A and B are shown apart, each in its own frame.
Chain A
Amino acid sequence: MERNSSTGPVADPAPVGEADHVSKSFGETRALVDVSLEVRPGECHGLVGRNGAGKSTLVSLLTGLSRPDRGSIRLAGEPAPGLADRGAWLTRVACVYQRSMVVPPLTVAENVFLNRPTSGNNALVNWRAMRDRAHELMLDWGFDLDVDQEAGRLTVEQRQIVEIARALSIGVRLLILDEPTAALEKAAVERLFEHVKRLREGGVGVLYISHHLEEIYEICDRVTVLRDGELVLSGRVRDVPQENLVAAMVGTAPPKRATEIEAVRKTGALGERRLQVDHLSVLSRAGSVEDVSLFVRAGECVGLVGLDGSGSATVADAIVGLVKPRSGTIAINGAAPRPGKVDAAFRRGVGYVPQDRHARGFAPQLGVGENLTLAVFDRFARRFGIVSFTRRDTIAETLVEKLQIVAQSLTQPVSSLSGGNQQKVVVGRALAPDPSVLVAVSPTVGVDVASKEALLDALGGARDQGVAILLVSDDFEDLRICTRLMVMVRGRIATEFDRPPWDRQRLISAVEGLDVAV
């Protein structure tokens, strides 16, 4: 407990980590432009910005995974080591990524001392010394964790602690936490904050990256905002009002990106409730869901908006049966298919555009025509299940036209198409069986502008023909086809927007988990 005596103003406040006018480009994309940032010992420095603002690039520069094109990185007051010298980087800076970097079969103690001598300069492992030192470390920093436990059995929260403990035991004084609370429950977040406070008292500098702005206000001393690779705001947290922070993240609106997102005003009567979700709770690594209720009527497109880990994608997974809910009911066209069964959901008329098109979206080596019609074989099969190719091609051609898919022929393998056209095939396949409910997860992610328009038009067309669409997305451009929005934060529906147009600023505040009056 001596450590505490060293807190308070330090004589030499040399920053533990410093980026000095760094720039970095990847081909044409300017990921970072002349950004400067410093993390002082005993400080928690918040780093915020929307996806693609340059946060990850800055982290990769600070952790030595890449080198700045211009500018320099300094760690603990010294110029950064060369990229090849991993060992030197490891002793100066550590980043706890969302992706876990613990080794599941090894114990907590082993993970903490991974690849490091445990006694003297010996190649042999001294188990007792290792356990004792790991245990001491846990006590010193107030982590309540059994060091003999197998790391594979730890919760996400505990794995983070293992990684933090590892960094501390190496002597790291700059700790980067990359969205550490994304997969944590409320109580775990509180405990994490306690740990961060203790790290600060111990003279560690923390760079805290989060989408949740309320966390920045709770835990950080200073905050830096990146937008489109540029530093747009930096200052003491208490001097920056929330509105300014949000405004800095969103930026002033260029002509096309109006502050208000235009969206269809649905006129006329809406149909019956095609999709009804009641009190849904799901446990999931990708973001748990807590007591979510919603419904989608025929001819309606409901946008489910949330950050990674907010549970919005998990809701979609539960509806199509990819995950089994812990409790709650999902009814499609008035009847509940067997939970956790994908084919049952599909038989009830659900169409699905998966998030990861490469993993679940299409069979890459098969042709465009075949991929489009995978779900509707029975429609063009003649007797004894023999496939009629002419009938198949007719169906496929209609879809190609509707979605403006650019392909040389129906037999061209989907793997050779551009990303935008691949995504059109995925959406086309989901629309082929004329679903009554369509669940689309980030349908336009990673595609070019023209494809995006075509995709949104196709989805909008389906909506107008009476399909009930649940659109899960955090891309605000997608929301123009929505008639209603529900915002999810930490597994719960936080806010509902029921009349377009959507106010960009209010929407962002809601998504980031700030309290706003709607």
Chain B
Amino acid sequence: MAETTAEAPVATKRPMARRGVRMLVLNFFRELTLVPVIIVLMIAGAIVNPVFFTSSNLINVAEGGSALGMVVVAETLILLTGKFDISLQGTFGLAALLGAWLIAPKASSGLGAELSPWLGLVIVLLVGLVVGTINGFLVIKANFNAFIFTLAMSILLTGLQLGWLGGQTVYALPEVFIYIGAESWFGIPVAVWITVATFVAAALFLRYHRVGRAMYAIGGNLEAARAAGIQVDRIRIGVFMIASILAAVGGLMQAGRVTAVTAGQGSNLIFGVFAAAVIGGVSLDGGRGRMVGALTGVILLSLVTNILTLSSISSTWIDAVDGAIILIALGLAKLIGTERA
């Protein structure tokens, strides 16, 4: 008994509470390592072109990033569980295209059936669901390698998108279909509202829902998660499905923004998606990363694209500069310690 009492004052409640707060603050800053980079970029943007700091341009940046942001949320969810999905870009393009094709008149490369635009929206989501289900089951249950399987799936989906219409663009889309990409609420595009809401919802879910925490456990130590009774496979497949649906919604935003679906919508999108997630601190090995970080990644990439467009850099050089800036951001993230081993 004497021993027990002697041990009692080892830790009391107060320091523990203080430590908790300190951890929270520390964690918060770790996720926000990109903020200084973003500030520097904004200063650079203002110097490059005075148009940069106008509200219309900033709204333009947000709108440009919203479709990308949806796919980044999707990919981050999958990355956290320790897998990845390259075919999100194929879903991004094909889902919107199929929906548009079914509702657009023949004159604008549609099928001519001119189905209800509401049905078109359902089709878009359904394509996402189907692709996500196939990916999820085959990668998780049949144990296909996620990289090569979703790469092949991506090539297939993009190929379908191109072959279906022989490379033509579907346009003259009904208002309902392009609503989320073209309309604004209180001066801010609907797409931006939706993307921000999705980020917030995903962040809260990951932080406060048991399934969200289970996703971290699955990505962090699959065997431990299984041993704790977490339904590992069910959650991982579910995440693939949700992610593809989110990607399809992103495609819808893109279609609404340009009021058309091109045959090339979504191609090469996935590189930006991975870049945004990784520079935002999401680990490719699973289990590590947060939505706040992924969001800063999206903001950074969108700013870069915008500033490069505003600057007088020749458009043929934009990709090279883009790549260089991603590499620099990665290096910075490594230095500050976002991406820890």
In contact, B211 and A123 (Cβ under 8 angstroms): yes
Between A and B, how many residue pairs show CB distances below 8 Å? 91
Complex interface bits, A400-419 against B, C-beta within 8 A gives 1, otherwise 0: 00000000000000000000
Smallest Cβ distance from A164 to chain B, in angstroms? 14
What CA separation (Å) do A142 and B7 show in the bound complex?
7
Smallest Cβ distance from A367 to chain B, in angstroms? 26
B219 interface hit (Cβ, 8 Å) = yes
What CA separation (Å) do A432 and B147 show in the bound complex?
39
Smallest Cβ distance from A179 to chain B, in angstroms? 18
Q: Does more than half of chain A's interface fall in helix, strand or loop, or is it mixed?
A: loop
B207 (CB) vs chain A CBs: closest residue:
A125
Q: Does more than half of chain B's interface fall in helix, strand or loop, or is it mixed?
A: helix
Smallest Cβ distance from B212 to chain A, in angstroms? 8
Greatest chain A CB density within 10 A among B10, B217, B224 is at B224
B230 interface hit (Cβ, 8 Å) = yes
A138 (CB) vs chain B CBs: closest residue:
B11
In contact, B16 and A115 (Cβ under 8 angstroms): no
- Interface size range on B against A: 20 to 34
What CA separation (Å) do A107 and B5 show in the bound complex?
28
In contact, A147 and B16 (Cβ under 8 angstroms): yes
- Residues of A near B40 (CB, < 8 A) are none
In contact, A115 and B210 (Cβ under 8 angstroms): yes
B340 (CB) vs chain A CBs: closest residue:
A152
Chain A residues with a Cβ closer than 8 Å to the other chain, count: 31
- Residues of A near B219 (CB, < 8 A) are 105
In contact, A144 and B11 (Cβ under 8 angstroms): yes
User: Among residues 190 to 234 in chain B, which have CB atoms less than 8 Å away from a CB atom of chain A?
Assistant: 207-214, 216-217, 219-221, 223-225, 227-230
What CA separation (Å) do A1 and B3 show in the bound complex?
11
Smallest Cβ distance from B103 to chain A, in angstroms? 38
What CA separation (Å) do A153 and B147 show in the bound complex?
30
In contact, A105 and B224 (Cβ under 8 angstroms): no
What CA separation (Å) do A144 and B219 show in the bound complex?
28
10 A-B pairs with C-beta separation under 8 A: A103-B221, A105-B216, A110-B216, A114-B225, A115-B217, A123-B210, A125-B207, A142-B10, A146-B16, A147-B16
Interface residues of A (CB under 8 A from B): 1, 4, 86-87, 90, 99-107, 110, 114-115, 117, 123-125, 127, 131, 135, 138-139, 142, 144, 146-148
> 13 extra interchain contacts, Cβ-Cβ under 8 A, other than A105-B216, A125-B209, A131-B20?
A1-B4, A102-B221, A103-B217, A105-B288, A107-B23, A115-B213, A115-B217, A127-B208, A135-B13, A139-B8, A142-B10, A144-B10, A148-B23
Interface residues of B (CB under 8 A from A): 1, 4-5, 7-8, 10-11, 13, 16, 19-20, 23, 207-214, 216-217, 219-221, 223-225, 227-230, 287-288
